[in-house]
Every structure is written in structure tokens, then in C-alpha cells.
């Protein structure tokens, strides 16, 4: 099947040309953690701040992507892997287009993070662990999912009957139990912003 594919990679306008036009260094900023940990809130706030400074961004969020690109995928180990693989491939395309890409996905296991890293390239990926205990996320229960999972209405729920592995070596850990939303955003912004400047 692949014998009949003829990629035009070498003919496509270069990433550096696109970055120069946009005056920014494209990166994938991948926030992961339990449901309700604050990933989407932080990604949304960071995108708005970067946009206000004139950076070209895109935000990929778990629920939005599953409603479109990954509609039909469930939460089995195989489907989670395919979900992350597709997201990583899309993220890679955005990086090549010179766009700062913010991702907000649970990404519960180290092997899934490894898949994303291998596809995107470690040099293009900034891994942010949004740390928050299962108990605190359940207390917040912003989507009502923890109550549904406790009642048996949601299967393969991360942290309950599907594992969440603490990351081995994230670029940054943000603990949303110990710092306020504003403080956490400032830490994230100060860490990310210098990495988006043209070299």
C-alpha cells in the first residue's frame, strides 16, 4: 500500500519560512492530567494571553477532538492509543506550519506520552503535567463525570478503573491544588513564553 505513496515533503515550503513570517518558534505545549485537574482552563487562558501578544495559536482539547476527528473512538487501551496517535500527527502538521499548538488531553500513561513524543519530536514538544489528586478532582467534578463513574454510569474512567501513571520526566509540573488559577497560569506563561521566540 505504501509503495504507491509519494510524499512531497522536500517540495513543501519550509517550517522556518513560516516561522519567520509569523515571527514565532512553533512548539506543541501538551498539558496532561486527570479530568478536572485544570488542563483545559490553563490551555484556554494561555492561548488567550499568547494571542493578545500576536502569536498564532491553535488549541486542541480532548472533548472537542473526540466530537470530530476522533468521533467513534472509545476509551479502551487500543482506542486511547489511536486517539493520541491521531492528535500527535495533527499537532506535528501544525508545528510544521509554524503554529504554537496547545494540547489538553488526559494522556494517562507513559507509553501514550512516548507515542506523542516520538511522532512530534522531543525538540518540538513541551510536556506539562497538571497535577491534582483524584480526590480533589472528584470534589470539583466540573463535568459531573466523577459522580457518574461512582454510580457505574461511565466505564474505563481514568483514576478509578483505568490507571493514570505519574509522568517520568515532564518539562514542568503544575500543582493546581497548591496554587491558584492565576498563579498557575503565570508560572506556565513564564516557562513557555521564552521558548516561543525565534532563535
Query: How many Cα atoms sit within 13 Å of 20 on the Cβ side?
Result: 5
Q: What is the fold, at CATH topology level, of the domain defined by 14-193?
A: Rossmann fold (3.40.50)
Domain range summary for the chain, segments of one domain joined by +: 14-193
pLDDT tens digit at each of 199 positions of the chain? 667 776 767 778 999 999 999 999 999 999 999 999 999 999 999 999 999 999 999 999 999 999 999 999 999 899 999 999 999 999 999 999 999 999 999 999 999 999 999 999 999 999 999 999 999 999 998 899 988 988 899 888 998 888 899 999 999 999 999 999 999 999 999 999 999 999 7
Amino acid at each position: 500500500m505504501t509503495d504507491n505513496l509519494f510524499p512531497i515533503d522536500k517540495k513543501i515550503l519550509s517550517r522556518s519560512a513560516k516561522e519567520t513570517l509569523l515571527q514565532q518558534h512553533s512548539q506543541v505545549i501538551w498539558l496532561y492530567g486527570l479530568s478536572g485537574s485544570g488542563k483545559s482552563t490553563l490551555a484556554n487562558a494561555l492561548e488567550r494571553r499568547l494571542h493578545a501578544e500576536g502569536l498564532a495559536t491553535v488549541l486542541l482539547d480532548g472533548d472537542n477532538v473526540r466530537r470530530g476527528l476522533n468521533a467513534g473512538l472509545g476509551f479502551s487501551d487500543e482506542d486511547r492509543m489511536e486517539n493520541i496517535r491521531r492528535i500527535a500527527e495533527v499537532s506535528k502538521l501544525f508545528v510544521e506550519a509554524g503554529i504554537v499548538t496547545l494540547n489538553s488531553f488526559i494522556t494517562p500513561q507513559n507509553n501514550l506520552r512516548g507515542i506523542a513524543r516520538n511522532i512530534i519530536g522531543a525538540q518540538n514538544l513541551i510536556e506539562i503535567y497538571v497535577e491534582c489528586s483524584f480526590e480533589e478532582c472528584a470534589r470539583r467534578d466540573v463535568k459531573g463525570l466523577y459522580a457518574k463513574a461512582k454510580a457505574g454510569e461511565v466505564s474505563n474512567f481514568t483514576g478509578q478503573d483505568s490507571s493514570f501513571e505519574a509522568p517520568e520526566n515532564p518539562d514542568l509540573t503544575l500543582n493546581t491544588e497548591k496554587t491558584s488559577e492565576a498563579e498557575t497560569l503565570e508560572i506556565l506563561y513564564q516557562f513557555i513564553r521564552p521558548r516561543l521566540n525565534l532563535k
